[in-house]
Amino acid sequence: MSSYLEALRPRLSEIDYRKLRAIANPEVHRFVAEAADLCNPKRIFVCSNSAEDVAYIRRKAIETGEEKPLKAHGHTVHFDGVYDQGRDRRVTKYLVPKGDTLSKVLNQIDRDEGLAEIRSLLKNSMEGRTMIVLFVSLGPPNSVFTVLGMQCTDSWYVAHSETILFRPGYEVFRRSGSGRDFLRVLHSAGKLDKNMVSMEHEKKRIYIDYAENIIYSVNTQYAGNSVGFKKLAFRLAIRKANQEGWLAEHMMIMGVHGPGGRKTYFAGAFPSACGKTSTAMLPGETILGDDIAYIRNINSVARAVNVECGIFGILQGINPKDDPLLFEVLNSPGEIIFSNVLVKDGKPYWLGMGCDLPEDGVNYTGYWWEGKTDENGNRIPPAHKNARYTVPLRALKNCDPELDNPLGVELGGIMYGGRDSKAYVPVQQSFSWEHGVIAYGASLETETTFATVDKEGIPEINMMSIQDFISIPLGQNIRHLLDFGKKLKKPPIIFGVNYFLRDLETGEYLNAPRDKHVWVKWMELRVHNEAEAIKTPTGYVPKYEDLRRLFRQVLGKDYPKRDYIKQFTIRVPENLAKIDRVKKFYKEKVSDTPIELFKILDQQRRRLVQARKRFGDYISPEKFEK
C-alpha cells in the first residue's frame, strides 16, 4: 500500500478510501495526497462515476448553493463573479522551466516563480471544505484516442459540469494499473461570498505546468478557467499530439447529410463565438462534437473523435428561428446547468432568445432591474453575453450515433472560419491541403469576442483558432499540420468559411445566420465531386446556379443573383491587406514559421495582382468563369 494512500486515510471515509485504493497507480495517490497537503480540505470525496456518486455531486452543488434549482426538472443555474465571465488570458500562463523557451506571443512565467506563487494562493484554500476527486476519459474510453485525466477541485459546480461534459474515467483508471500517464488538474474556487461565488478575482491565476502535465487554477469558477479538461488540458494535449504525430484541435465535428442518404463528416475550427456550435447544430444534420477534437491517421485516413460528450455552449442568440433544435432542448426538462443568465420566477433568460426579457430578476450582479448600472455608470445587461448552458450531447435528438465509436469517424472535410468582416468570401475551397492549412488555417483572422474577458472587436490573428491554447512554437504547429496531411491517402478537403462578411459601404452583414447551411451542403457535394466551382485567386468558389438550387432546397429561399455577386466578389485590396497583415505577424512574432507559409501567401498575392490587372479591384466571381 502506498504511503500516500495511508497519509490520506484520515480525510477519507472507508468507502472513498476503497475507491481510491482500487486504482493501483501510485501516481494517482501521490497527486491526491499532495493536493490535500497543500489545500488542506476537511475531507475528500472520490467520484467513481457510479450513478450514486454522480447524483451526490448534483445534490451537493445545490445544497452548497453553488447552483440553484430552476423550475424545469433537472435545470439549475450557476453564477460566476462579475470579473470572472470568460476565459482570462491575462492570468493564464505557462510555467517555463529554466533553459526552455516558448513563443513570445504566449503568456508565460518562470516555472519556479509561478509555482511558488500559485502554491501560496492554493495553500489552505480548501480549509473546511470537501475536495472532490474526479476521473475522466478524454475521447471514447479504451480507444487509441483515449487520454486520461484527473481533477481535484473544491467546487461542486465544476465537478457537476465535468460529469456532464466528459466521459467517465474511473473504471479506465482502475483497469489500467500503474505506469499509465494522465493529465492532472488542481483547482480551488478560493474564498467564496455568501452566494458561493469566487471573491478574490485579483488573485485569479491559471498556470499550466507542461513539464509535469499539471494545471493549477485558483480563485475562479468560470468553466473555461476551472473545468480543467476543457481548454486547459487541451493545451497539454496539443503538446502531446505534436510529439506523438496526431492532432488536438479546437474543432466541432458534424455529419452532413448528402444525396442518397450519404453522410459526410466535417470538422470545423472557429474561434470562440464565431459560429462553431451553430454550424454543428444545423437542423437535419448530426452533431458529434462542438469544441475539441482529436484527429489521428488510422490506416492513412484522417479519423476524428470528440474529446467531450457534452456542450458548454453560448446562449446568446439561441432562438426558435436561428437555432430551433437547441432552443427546444433548452426548454425541455433534463439535466442542464445555465450560467450567468437572468432568472425570473425560476426561468432562465438570455440575450437574443427571441422574446421580451423581464424587467427585473437575478443575474450575475445580484438583483437586477432594467436600468441598473455598474460602478462606471454603464448599463448592466439582463444576462451576460457569455451566458452559457452545459448539457449532455446525448440529450440532443440530432446527436450523431458514432459519438462513442472508438475508431472515430472519417473526415471528408475541414473548415476554418473567423470573424472577417472585409476580405474572405463566405465559402471557398482550398487548392490543396497545404494551401488550406496556410491560407485559411494559419491566416485565420478574427475579431475578439466576449468569450474572453478582454475588449471586444479587436482584429487579431487566431491561428487555426487555437491561438489561445497553443503551447508549442507556432511554426511547429503549422509544420505538424502540413506533415499530417502529407501522410494521408486522401486528406480531408480544406474549406475557408466566413459568416461575418460585411458590405464595405453600409457595414451590414451580407448573410443571414442560416445561410451557413447552404455552404455546408455545398462543401459536402464538393467532397464527392458533385458540384462545380469557379477558380478564383483565393480558392474555388461556388457557382450561382448551385447555390440558387441549394438555397431553395435547404432554406426554401430565393437567392437573387445580386446577393451572390456581392457575397462572392473577390475584394483585391482587402485581400492584399490581409496577406500583408498575416505575413507581418509571422515575420515579427514567429521565429520558426515554415517557409511554405510565405511561399503560398506570395503565390496568392501574385494571383490577386494579376486578376486586378485584368478586372480591377472588385471582381465578380463570374469574371473567373471560363
- Footprint on this chain of ligand SPV (rule: CB under 6 A): 87, 223-224, 230-231, 272, 291, 312, 451
Whether 325 and 398 have beta carbons less than 8 Å apart is answered as yes
User: How many CA atoms lie within 13 Å of 566's alpha carbon, on the beta-carbon side?
Assistant: 16
Least Cβ distance, residue 550 to ligand SPV (angstroms) = 29
508 residue type, one letter: E
Identify residue 298 by its one-letter amino acid code: I
Cβ at position 465, least distance to Mn ion in Å: 8
CB of residue 219 vs ligand SPV: minimum separation in angstroms? 16
Cell 453575453, residue?
385
322-331 long-range contacts, CB within 8 A, separation 24+? 322/278, 322/513, 322/514, 323/278, 323/281, 324/283, 325/281, 325/283, 325/396, 325/397, 325/398, 326/277, 326/281, 326/396, 327/353, 327/354, 329/391, 329/395, 329/396, 330/389, 330/391, 331/72
% helix, strand, coil for the chain, step of 5: 35, 25, 40
Cβ nearer to Mn ion, comparing 273 with 550: 273
Catalytic residue among 39, 274, 309, 399: 274
- CA 467 to mean position of chain CA atoms: 12
Identify which of residues 141 and 224 has a Cβ nearer to ligand SPV in the complex: 224
For residues 95, 273, 442, 212, the Cα torsion angle rounded to the nearest 10 degrees is 20
The C-alpha atoms of residue 228 and residue 145 are separated, in whole angstroms, by 18
Q: Stretches 172-180, 266-274, 453-461, 591-599: which one binds Mn ion (CB under 5 A)?
A: 266-274
Looking at beta carbons only, is 78 or 231 nearer to ligand SPV? Answer: 231
At residue 524, φ and ψ (nearest 5 deg) are -60, -45
> What part of residues 146-165 is at the interface with Mn ion (CB under 5 A)?
none
Shortest spacing between CB 387 and Mn ion, in angstroms = 15
Q: How many residues bind Mn ion (CB under 5 A)?
A: 2
Specify the DSSP element, H or E, that contains 536.
Answer: strand 533-536
Question: What x/- string results for residues 268 through 287 when contact with Mn ion is judged by CB under 5 A?
Answer: ----x---------------
C-alpha to C-alpha distance for 107 and 473, rounded to whole angstroms: 12
Task: Give the position of cell 490587372.
Answer: 613
Query: In the complex, what is the shortest distance from the CB of residue 515 to ligand SPV, in angstroms, rounded to a whole number?
Result: 23
Nearest to 277 by CA among 235, 231, 310: 310
Which residue is nearest to ligand SPV, using beta carbons? 224
Half-sphere exposure (CA, 13 Å, Cβ side) for 444?
31
Residue 223 interacts with which of Mn ion, ligand SPV, none, CB < 5 to 8 Å by class: ligand SPV
| Residue 87 binds which entry of ligand SPV, Mn ion, none, CB below 5-8 Å type-dependent | ligand SPV
What CA–CA distance (Å, rounded) separates 422 from 424?
Answer: 7
* Angstrom distance (rounded) from CA 150 to CA 126: 18
Catalytic annotation present for 274: yes
d(CA 128, CA 403) in angstroms, rounded, equals 40
- Select from ligand SPV, Mn ion, none the partner in contact with residue 413, using the beta carbon and a kind-dependent cut-off of 5 to 8 Å: none
Shortest separation between residue 249's beta carbon and ligand SPV, angstroms: 12
335 binds Mn ion (CB under 5 A): no
For residues 288-307, which are near Mn ion according to CB under 5 A? 291
CB 448 → Mn ion: shortest distance, Å?
14
Which is closer to Mn ion, CB of 213 or CB of 272?
A: 272
Alpha helices in 64-145 (DSSP H): 111-122
Phi, psi of 502, deg, nearest 5: -115, 155
Beta-carbon neighbour count of residue 241 at 10 Å? 22
For residue 11, the partner it binds in ligand SPV, Mn ion, none, with Cβ less than 5 to 8 A by kind, is: none
* Least distance from Mn ion to the Cβ atom of residue 292, Å: 7
Residue 312 site contact among ligand SPV, Mn ion, none (CB < 5 to 8 Å, cut-off depends on kind): ligand SPV
The residue among 307 and 597 lying less far from ligand SPV, judged by its C-beta, is: 307
- Between 274 and 600, CB nearer to Mn ion: 274
Other beta carbons within 10 Å of 32: 26
CA distances from 143 to 50, 172, 359, 407, 412 (A): 21, 11, 50, 7, 21
Question: Where along the sequence are the contacts to Mn ion (CB under 5 A)?
Answer: 272, 291
Q: What residues are labeled active site?
A: 274
